[in-house]
Structure 1
Amino acid sequence: MKSVKVCKTLLQGCVGWVLLCALTVESAISATMDISASFRPDPSKPHENKFTNDTPMSGHCALQPEFCKEQGLFSLLVPIEFQSITPILAGHADRRKGAMFKVPADWRRLTISRVDGRAETSEVEVRIVSIGGRYILPDTAQNLVGEGEPTNVQGWHTRLWGDWTWAPPAPCQPTGGMYTQPNSRTFFWMTPTASECAMTANYRIPSLTYDQMQIGYELRTPDPLHMSSGIFTGNLTYHVGPGMDFDMGDIMHPSDSTLTLSFTLNVEHTLKVDIPPGGNKVVLEPAGGWQNWLQHGRKPVRLYRDQVFNISASSRFKMQIDCEIPGLYDCMIRDPVSQRAVLVELNVTLPDGLTDLAGVPVKRRRLIRVGQEEQQKYQALNYVNNRPGILHFEVASEYMDYMLQPGVAARYTGNIVVIWDSEI
């Protein structure tokens, strides 16, 4: 750290948020999917305080990006398959004995924590809003249904399930963009509720497989402006199987018993302070200059200087001062000849968009050397980009008689270090 005379700025960049994720299979009984998102302030959109989902698309949204963008959802291929353990009987009365789907469409909350071990947490919410994949028959749909109309690939599948065309059973909702093969069909359905979507088979199906399974999800991420820079991680585990979070009925059993969504959020905040050229040398003077004192012996009311600085900030930060000549709370300046010293009170005014932690605008807020830490912490209500603030330096009126004596020259100097710190 380099000190500068009277006023020094410590420029410290804030690390932003990123949510990082990747698709992995951990073991035979647990599947893990990584989901990533990030926040970096955008000067062109200062009021947009949202994370960007950086997770690579796979599955339906990779093929139908415009649809997913309109719906605000993301899809991921899931490393889990389902295999029937018994045949599906024609006209089965029990919904759970056939093709049934139930997903955790309710919002689930998880806690994310900083990876560096610092005691800061936040919360993410996620819900599953669609389910998809491909079902595979042991034979062609034509051979399973035999004679009858209609006599085309889609028609044979429709006859097999009875009115199960491109539209899924309620309450699931269609998305389109599916394809059909003689012994398989893809599907991707919206799941607005956590209710069952089930269809009865019209013909006996000896066995059934679901592969290329995928989910669509929505995220609620925290306000990044209320978080520190850094990387935050957390996991949310769903149980998979009959009667579990992902429930495909009693006869369709999964290859893995759990599905874990592993979140990594990376926040890259901005905190930058610029002092104009020459602004590191602050000269305290009376209002109107020294002429009244030099020519008429009229002592000034006070000595002061307002020093402008420009600040860019997107997160919480604190301000501190360090002193070459410390007083009890403030810094001091001293005349090296007489060894007389006086206190310099320092206040700060921050631009609109930056407040204290209670949301109160910062106007001439006092900065002190020790104590009152919470009163010297500030936050960004939105991204503030290169806006002016003011450092108010002042020697109060009670020191004028002490400092100024007719016919006696004095020069008071001292270094004050002003620190803007994102690590709070």
Structure 2
Amino acid sequence: MNSFILRTTGTAMLLCSFAALADEDITARFRPDPSNPMVNKFENTTPISSICAAHIPARCKALGIFSLRDETLRIASNAPIIANHEQERHGFMVKVPSDWRDLTVTHTATQETEIVQVRIAGIGGFWSIPRPPGVSGWAQPGVGWSTQWRSAPSPCQSTNHLAAGTASASYFWLTPEGAGPCSRKPSEDLLRMSVNTMEYAYELRTPNPLGMSSGLYTGSITYSMGPGGDYDFGDVMMPSKNALTLNFTLSVEHDLKVDVPPGGNRIELVPQGGWQAWLSQGRKPARLFRDQTFHISASSRFKMQMACERVIGDTCALRNTTDGHEVPVDVSVSLPHGLNREDGGAVIRQPLLLSGAGTEQFQPGFYVSRRPGTLHFEVQKPYADQMVERGGSTYAGQVSVIWDSDL
């Protein structure tokens, strides 16, 4: 009799989160979907702010960006903003870390590391100025003040978002990768200006979840704020903080499940075509074998191991229940397309050995959902001859096959 053991050490789900100072928690999750096995991406589950939730949801979805609102950050002028100032840094200006930045996340248990990439893909906020002049102070000859804020200055890109009162407005501009400063000049002097809420969008590049272990990964990235910093608002608009830290927590939940059909844990080894040739013609069988099908679902790396009731060399033994004679039984495995060896090769009749050699790691190329595999059991001819010579006796033994996601 052969027993099949599935042992997993957790599940595999990817979850990302940011936080720090005035920071936000960002969560994303990888959970394999049997209905879409080829889609192996992380789902961002972070509650998004109103920009992507209500104002430009289709644009955000198309760009793959997500918005957050920081209500604790205040950006205030330290001097009047002079009308039509010549130096860009002397008025309203925004520059964000729109380039891709790498950060390392580390598995809290195994210390494995992965790289996450993040960039700031948009910036906006709610600004206020004195009245007079109020919002009309941003008008320029031939261009109304609302157009100035609804249509983003280059190199930023417009979202057409604008909500305004007589002395305040909220805006939001997209920041393409590597974008430099974006700014606006008032046509009238402004005694002061403040931004009381900052809203920003981020874009993520996450690791391949199929190559990650189950569990939690953590890491962080810190952006400087202020003149010359990663977040730069010029020399007049000063932020209330000098740094913004984004803390990540990645949680990975994998699927590893093996189903053996009813009765599939009891293996009877027989010759090709059955015993009739031996019984009627005395023809010795070339081998004794049985192929047992199973169904496997896997989104994570795993290894296979074998344990035996009785051992011969690096494999299991079957024992004659009458005289104690033992013969080795060879066990091998074939896995479905999508589950590969470490070198990328297909898994076809890969020997299962007590030492574990050759089955230390199998890697999914995509999520395999309930696909058939085969365990092959065989007693080779020299040993089958020995068994036949003891006709009428029974050979038995127990083999445990283990699928293990704990590498």
Match of residue 73 from structure 1: 65
Cα distance in 2 between the residues matched to 1:6 and 1:92:
83
CA distance in 1, matches of 2:6, 2:12: 19
Aligned to 1:386: 370
Aligned residue runs from structure 1 range 323-334, under 5 A: 323-334=308-319
Q: Count residues with an aligned counterpart.
A: 401
Q: RMSD value over aligned CA atoms?
A: 2.0
CA distance in 2, matches of 1:22, 1:223: 19
1:119 deviates by: 2.8
Aligned match of 2:195 = 210
What is aligned with 2:157?
173
Q: Write the mapping of 1:128-143 to structure 2, written as runs, cut at 5 A.
A: 128-137=120-129, 139-140=130-131, 143=132
Q: 1:22 to 1:113 in 2, by over 3 A?
A: closer
Choose the corresponding residue for 2:85, options 92, 98, 117.
92
Shift of 1:333: 0.9
Determine which of 357, 360, 367 is the counterpart of 2:342: 357
Structure 1 residue 273: deviation in Å? 0.5
Give 1:256 shift.
1.3
1:150 — aligned with what? none
Kept in 1, the 8 Å contact 2:138–2:187? The answer is no
* Alignment-mate amino acid for residue 148 of structure 2: W
Give the match for residue 158 of structure 1: 139
Structure 2 residue runs of 5 or longer lacking an equivalent are: none
**Superposition map of 1:273-312 within 5 A:** 273-312=258-297
- The Cα shift of 1:269 comes to 1.1
Query: TM-score when scaled to structure 2?
Result: 0.93
Residue equivalent to 1:37: 28
Q: 2:246 aligns with which of 247, 250, 261?
A: 261
Post-superposition CA distance 1:23-79 (Å, at most 9, x none): 6xx5xxx43221111011111111101100011001411222223112221100123
Call closer, same or farther: CA 1:10–1:375 in 2, change over 3 Å.
closer
The 5 A counterparts of 1:165-244 are 165-192=149-176, 193-244=178-229
- Deviations along 1:220-250, one digit per CA (max 9) or x if unpaired, are 1111111122222211111111100000001
Q: Is the 8 A contact 2:5 2:401 kept in 1?
A: yes
- Counterpart of 1:33, as a letter, is E
Distance (whole Å) between structure 2 residues aligned to residue 59 and residue 261 of structure 1: 20
**CA deviations over 1:336-361 (Å, ceiling 9, x no partner):** 32111111100101111111122111
* Kept after mapping to 1: 8 A contact 2:80/2:189: yes
Task: Pick the aligned partner of 1:411 from 380, 394, 405.
Answer: 394
User: Secondary structure of 2:133's match?
Assistant: helix
1:331 aligned counterpart, secondary structure: strand
Match of residue 108 from structure 1: 101
Confirm or deny: 8 A CA contact 1:136 1:184 kept in the other structure. Answer: yes
**2:80 touches 2:190 (CA, 8 Å); kept in 1?**
yes
Superposition misfits of 4+ residues, deviation over 6 angstroms: 160-163
Q: Are 2:41 and 1:50 equivalent residues in the alignment?
A: yes
> TM-score with structure 1 length normalisation?
0.90
CA spacing shift, 1:86–1:368, aligned 2, 3 Å: same
Q: For the Cα contact (< 8 Å) 2:285–2:385, is it kept in 1?
A: no
Contact 2:305 / 2:359 at 8 angstroms: preserved in 1?
A: no
Q: Identity of paired residues, percent? A: 44
Deviation at 1:261, TM superposition (A): 1.3
Q: Per the alignment, do residues 178 and 211 of structure 1 end up closer, same or farther by CA in structure 2, a change over 3 Å counting? A: same
Work out which of the residue numbers 17, 21, 28 in structure 1 matches 2:17.
21
Q: Say whether residues 1:343 and 2:328 are aligned partners.
A: yes
Deviation of 1:13 after TM superposition, in Å, equals: 7.3
Residues 317-345 of structure 1: CA deviation (Å, up to 9, x unaligned): 11111111122211111113211111110
